[in-house]
Structure formats: structure tokens, C-alpha cells
Amino acid sequence: MSSLDPKDIIPHRPPFLFLDYVYDIVPGKSAKGIWNLTGEEDFFKGHFPNRPTLPGVLMVEAMAQLGAVALLSEEQFKGKLVLFGGVDKARFRRQVVPGDVLELEVELGSMSKRAGKGTGRGILNNQVACEAGMLFIISDFS
């Protein structure tokens, strides 16, 4: 599959959309995506003023957004809202700074109609920057 705009699938919008594009989707199973950190993002101004660093929680949120793209690409979940239900075993291994390109990967495990688990990784220069297990809750959008 060619790359696509995550705004076509998930409801997130700037300034809380942390995916620039998504590719290699297997609906309901996995996805890969990219987040280009330009340095213009507001959070860099305060985290940290003299040494801007991407907050780890935002890396995990980016992985959760990618997981939502993979889920909502599955026919049975179209029109639903995917909520972030929890994080397990998050680890942050590399600093991500302005100008970096964070590659994101998510693999989903077993999913029911209401919830499921997945794992995600953020990769920087072919090295794992972060990884975490995630719980997804599936809800009606309205």
C-alpha cells in the first residue's frame, strides 16, 4: 500500500496529531508510519529550553495513534473511536530531538469488538528509541 494521510483515518488533528504519514498497513494487524520532528513543535520550547527533547509520552502516543490507524483500517472497526486504554512496559532508549525522523511500527495482538492489545516501537537511525505494550479500547464515535 502506498503512503496515506492519517487524518483520512483517525480523528486526531494538529497540534495533537503525531504522524506525518502511514504506510505498509495490514488492516487490523499492523502498520508503519513516520513522524518528522521539525523543531517547530510547541513542546520543544519547554522540554527542554536549552536541550529540546521529544517527551517519551508523546512517542507512546504516536505509537497509539498508529495502532488506531491499523485498527480503523479493518472493516469491522470503521466508524469507531479507538481510545488509548493503557501502557505496559514502556522503555525509552534513545533521545529524539528536532530534525529527527521517528519511524514507528505497531503490531496488534488479539482484538475483540471492544478492546485489544498491541506493541509498538519507535526507531531512530535503525535503533530502537522507545517500545511499549498498549491497550486499545474501541468505542462508538458518537
First vs last Cα of the chain: how many Å apart?
A: 30
12 is catalytic: no
CA–CA gap between residue 80 and residue 100 (Å, rounded): 32
CA–CA gap between residue 19 and residue 29 (Å, rounded): 18
Of 16, 18, 26, 9, the C-alpha closest to 111 is: 26
Q: Three cell numbers at 105?
A: 511500527
Of 110, 63, 50, 52, the C-alpha closest to 91 is: 63
3, 21, 26, 47: the catalytic one is 47
> Which residues are known catalytic residues?
47
